[in-house]
Structure 1
Amino acid sequence: MKIKDLDKYTNAEKILLAEELWDSVAKDKLELSDALKEELDRRIALVEEDKTEFYTWDDVKSILKKNRNA
């Protein structure tokens, strides 16, 4: 789907549109399985305990390129 004449809107208007779209989706109750909830809780705990590493998108691309060429 392509929105016609999107360039005619300001960035602020585009952000408002994105918020409205998100709100319309978020109104639907999204069901998460118990396993997914547990996994999310586990990952949040790792972040809170400073036991995880974060990577920039450039880092990820570099790692993927290295692995692809190996």
Structure 2
Amino acid sequence: MKIKDLDKYTNAEKILLAEELWESVSKEKLELSDAMKQELDRRISLVEEDKTEFYTWEDVKNTLKKSRNA
């Protein structure tokens, strides 16, 4: 989907539009399957038990660049 004439809006207007779009989506009840709920619970447990590593966006980009060049 492409929004026509998006360039005619200021950055502030674009941010307001993005906020309105997010509000309209976030109010809907999103349904999760049991498998999705179990996976989310598993991941939360790993974080709470300090068994998860976190990476910065820079780390991820560098790793991708290295693997592309290999």
TM-score (normalised: structure 1): 0.71
How far has the Cα of 1:41 moved from its partner? 0.8
Counterpart position of 1:42: 42
- The number of equivalent residue pairs is 70
How much has 1:5 moved relative to structure 2? 8.0
Superimposed CA distance per residue, residues 28-58 of structure 1 (whole angstroms, 9 cap, x where no aligned partner) = 2211111111111111111111111111111
Structure 2: which amino acid aligns with 1:28? Answer: E
1: CA distance, partners of 2:49 / 2:10: 41
DSSP-derived class of the 1:31 partner:
coil
Aligned 1:1-70 pairs, distance under 5 A: 15-70=15-70
RMSD: 2.1
Scaled by the length of structure 2, the TM-score of the pair is: 0.71
Gap regions ≥5 residues in structure 2 = none
Higher alpha-carbon deviation: 21-30 or 32-41: 21-30
